[in-house]
C-alpha cells in the first residue's frame, strides 16, 4: 500500500464511507486513468499529445476525410501504445467494485478498452473505441483484430474488403458527433446516480464534461481524483490531486475489506 499523508488517508476514509452509503455509484474516467498504463494523455505540459500536435490538424473528421494518411501517421504510435497497454491497479480496482455491485456504471472518455480488459462489464464509451472500424463508403463494420496488427507493423492503411474504401476506427474525432446510444446511456446514468466519481479527467471536453454537473444538480455527491484542477472542484465533497492508480485501489480496499 502506498504511504499516504494523514490528510489523504482521512479523505480516503471519507470517500469509502460515501461509497458504502450510496445506492447508485457511477464513475467518469478520462485519459489520466490510463497514463499509469503508459498511454499518454492529451493536455499534460510537455508530454500530452496536444503538446506536440494541433488536434484539429491531425485528429479531426475533416482531416480524416481529406487527408486520411495524415491522421493514420499521427495515430499509429498512439494506437501501438494502446494495443500493448495493460490495465493498471485503478482499472482492476474499479472492476472489483463492479463485481461487488458497489459501482454500477463506468462512463469513459477513453478508447483503449482497458476497463474491459480489467473485467468491467457495464462500460459506456462516450468517445468510441478501437475495437471496431467502419467503412467510410459502404458502412460495413469490422473487428480491429484483422487490421490493427498489420497497420501497426507496417503502416498499411486499412481498406474495406467489400468496396476497397478506407476504414475509419470507431473513435470520435474532433467535429464528429458522439455515438447516440452511448451518450443517452451516459446521461441516464448521470441522472440516476447518487454518487459520481470523476477520475483522470480535467473535465474540459464537452459535452461529456457536463455529466457530473447533471448529477450533482440532482443532489448526487461528487468525488474528484485528478492531478490538475477541474471546474467542479468547488462543488466536490472530496478532491484527490494524486495518482489515480494509488488512490482508487486504496479507497476500494477500504470499502471492501475494512
CA separation for the pair 81, 62 (Å, rounded): 25
For position 48, what pLDDT does the model report?
41
What Rg value do the Cα atoms of the chain yield, rounded? 19
48-84+128-171 CATH fold: SIR2/SIRT2 'Small Domain' (3.30.1600)
% pLDDT > 90, the chain: 83
pLDDT mean across residues, the chain:
92
Instruction: Examine the pLDDT at 44 and tell me if it is beyond 70.
Output: no
What pLDDT band is residue 51 in, cutting at 50, 70 and 90? very low
How does pLDDT run across 217-246, given as a tens digit for each residue?
999 999 999 999 999 999 999 999 999 999
Instruction: Examine the pLDDT at 54 and tell me if it is beyond 80.
Output: no
Are 256 and 96 within 8 A, CB to CB?
Answer: yes
1-39+87-127+177-258 CATH fold: Rossmann fold (3.40.50)
Give catalytic status of residue 2 as yes or no.
no
How does pLDDT run across 121-170, given as a tens digit for each residue?
999 999 999 999 999 999 999 999 889 899 999 999 999 999 999 999 99
Give all strands of the β-sheet with 167-171 in edge-to-edge order.
141-143, 128-135, 167-171
Are 219 and 163 within 8 A, CB to CB?
Answer: no
**Region 63-85: what's the mean pLDDT?**
92
**Catalytically annotated residue among 67, 127, 159, 221:** 127
Start-end ranges of CATH 3.30.1600.10 in the chain?
48-84+128-171
For position 46, what pLDDT does the model report?
46
Amino acid at each position: 500500500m502506498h504511504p499516504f499523508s494523514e490528510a489523504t488517508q482521512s479523505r480516503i476514509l471519507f470517500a469509502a464511507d460515501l461509497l458504502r452509503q450510496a445506492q447508485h455509484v457511477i464513475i467518469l474516467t478520462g485519459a489520466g486513468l490510463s497514463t499509469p498504463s503508459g498511454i499518454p494523455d492529451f493536455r499534460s505540459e510537455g508530454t500530452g499529445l496536444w503538446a506536440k500536435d494541433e488536434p484539429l490538424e491531425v485528429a479531426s473528421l475533416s482531416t480524416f476525410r481529406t487527408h486520411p494518411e495524415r491522421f493514420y501517421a499521427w495515430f499509429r504510435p498512439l494506437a501501438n501504445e494502446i494495443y500493448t497497454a495493460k490495465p493498471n491497479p485503478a482499472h482492476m480496482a474499479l472492476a472489483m467494485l463492479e463485481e461487488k455491485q458497489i459501482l454500477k456504471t463506468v462512463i469513459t472518455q477513453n478508447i483503449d478498452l482497458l476497463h474491459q480488459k480489467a473485467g468491467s462489464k457495464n462500460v459506456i464509451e462516450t468517445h468510441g473505441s478501437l475495437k471496431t472500424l467502419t467503412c467510410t463508403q459502404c458502412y460495413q463494420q469490422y473487428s480491429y483484430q484483422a487490421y490493427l496488427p498489420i497497420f501497426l507493423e507496417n503502416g498499411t492503411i486499412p481498406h474495406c474488403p467489400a468496396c476497397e474504401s478506407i476504414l475509419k476506427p470507431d473513435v470520435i474525432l474532433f467535429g464528429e458527433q458522439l455515438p447516440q446510444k452511448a451518450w443517452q446511456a451516459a446521461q441516464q446514468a448521470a441522472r440516476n446516480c447518487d454518487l459520481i466519481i470523476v477520475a483522470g479527467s480535467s473535465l474540459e471536453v464537452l459535452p461529456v464534461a457536463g455529466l457530473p454537473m447533471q448529477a450533482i444538480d440532482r443532489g448526487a455527491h461528487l468525488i474528484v481524483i485528478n492531478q490538475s484542477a477541474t471546474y467542479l472542484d468547488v462543488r466536490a465533497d472530496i478532491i484527490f490531486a494524486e495518482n489515480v492508480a494509488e488512490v482508487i485501489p486504496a479507497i476500494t480496499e477500504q470499502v471492501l475489506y475494512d
